Amino acid sequence: MDIGSKIKRLRILNELTQEELAQRCDLTKGFISKIERDITSPSIATLMDILEALGTDVKKFFNEDVQDKIVFTKEDIYTSTNEDSLHKVSWLIPNAQKNAMEPILIELVPNGKSNIEDPHKGEEFGYVLKGAVTLHFGNKRFKIKKGESFYFKSSQAHFLENTGVKNAEVLWVSSPPSF
């Protein structure tokens, strides 16, 4: 494990300079620099002080995070078709419910509607890839065409509807996941 570069990464994530971290740990900027460049190693007590200043502890620091999957292919996509509402939803990221946001691709045939989402905490973003849709947000309606987007806090009941004569396709992202 590269302790120095990991400390440096945490320091930068905490928006601290080497000098600020050194002051919080009663060390010198030069010593922090040497640790980050792996020229020297801190004692256990000093490492614990540094980690405390960085908002973590020894257990979390040495617990190697396994990088989650970053790239997803067509084989990862799960699709569901709703014959009654005339729409198809493709979940682009498997198990996205465990993440902070959930992207889907929704396809609406003419007269198709997405499911009605009740008000909930969070925010939603959508980008129309094909066709046009009407966003129903509470008592308001918004016409959104190809190349346009929407963004709102999910404080009202909402759904999409294709009132046009062509198929529509929308990339829709909900945070936190709600689809």
Q: pLDDT digit string (tens) for 138-170?
A: 999 999 999 999 999 999 999 999 999 999 999
Which of helix, strand or coil describes residue 131? coil
Q: Is 10 or 65 the better-scoring residue by pLDDT?
A: 10
pLDDT of residue 64: 65
pLDDT of residue 118: 93
pTM comes to: 0.65
Q: pLDDT digit string (tens) for 39-51?
A: 999 999 999 999 9
- Whether the CB-CB separation of 80 and 89 falls below 8 Å is answered with yes
Q: Which domains does the chain have, with CATH numbers?
A: 3-62 (1.10.260.40), 74-175 (2.60.120.10)
Q: pLDDT digit string (tens) for 81-128?
A: 988 889 999 999 887 777 889 999 999 999 999 999 999 999 999 999
Residues in the chain: 179
CA atoms within 13 A on the CB side of 7: 27
Question: Within 14-114, where are the H helices?
Answer: 18-25, 29-36, 44-53, 58-62
